[in-house]
Amino acid sequence: MAILYTLVARGSVVLAEFSGTPTNASTVARQILEKTPGNNDMNVSYSQDRYIFHVKRTDGLTVLCMADDVAGRRIPFAFLEDIHQRFVRTYGRAVLSAQAYGMNDEFSRVLSQQMEYYSNDPNADRINRLKGEMGQVRTVMIENIDKVLDRGDRLELLVDKTATMQTNTLRFRKQTRRFRSTVWWRNVKLTIVLILLILVIAYVVSAFVCHGLTLPSCL
């Protein structure tokens, strides 16, 4: 999945969030919200190893996501724009006074569905290219997240590898079963060939020994 985590917040108050995999992205995201105060509109990205936190703030509402660096910027920011529009359209002015996680039970399902769509559906990128809505993404500033958070030590982004390991294990098991099946059929074919060869040799030898003799006397 290209987009692994996302949240919607008013200032530093998280209204809804969803994570597609066990990770400490939520902790990092909250630090980003605290370090980028104010209500000025902004599009900015913060890099950390092979993960990038993309932030879109519009009219005081911040939508943030964490994605693989291979996702680029167009798709994550198209995702953020989509989430912003859906959130405002759904809750309107209630966003201004909502309590922390006030929309999480309902809207986290929307976050999950749209994360899946923008991560895996090729139509997501085609649609955004046709619309041309994300031209402003070209000016997005990429900064290192450690610099933004004013940390002297390296901030480690912990992403659970269990799902990847399980996938690799299943793939290995399938390959093992396929290999065993191939070897078994190869042995069966070899056995059949050997039996046929033995029969041919026996026939040739018997024909040579019994040359000139009748079959009953040869037997």
Place of tokens 């390959």: 175
Q: Is the pLDDT of residue 201 over 80?
A: yes
Q: Of 16, 172, 170, 15, which is closest to residue 98 (Cα–Cα)?
A: 15
Question: pLDDT-based confidence at 206, cuts 50/70/90?
Answer: confident
Question: 176-199: per-residue pLDDT in tens?
Answer: 677 777 778 888 888 898 888 888
Task: Give the number of other Cβ atoms within 10 Å of residue 202's Cβ.
Answer: 10
Alpha helices (H) in the chain, listed in sequence order = 25-35, 74-91, 104-120, 123-131, 145-148, 162-209, 215-218
CA 187 to chain centre: 40
Percent with pLDDT over 70 in the chain: 69
Question: pLDDT-based confidence at 18, cuts 50/70/90?
Answer: very high
Rounded to whole angstroms, the maximal C-alpha distance in the chain is 111
Residue range 57-85: mean pLDDT, rounded: 90
Question: pLDDT-based confidence at 157, cuts 50/70/90?
Answer: low
Tell me the two tokens of residue 175: 């390959």
List Cβ neighbours of 112 (8 Å cut-off, separation of 6 or more): 18, 20
Question: pLDDT-based confidence at 217, cuts 50/70/90?
Answer: low
Residue-averaged pLDDT of the chain: 78
Per-residue pLDDT, 171: 59
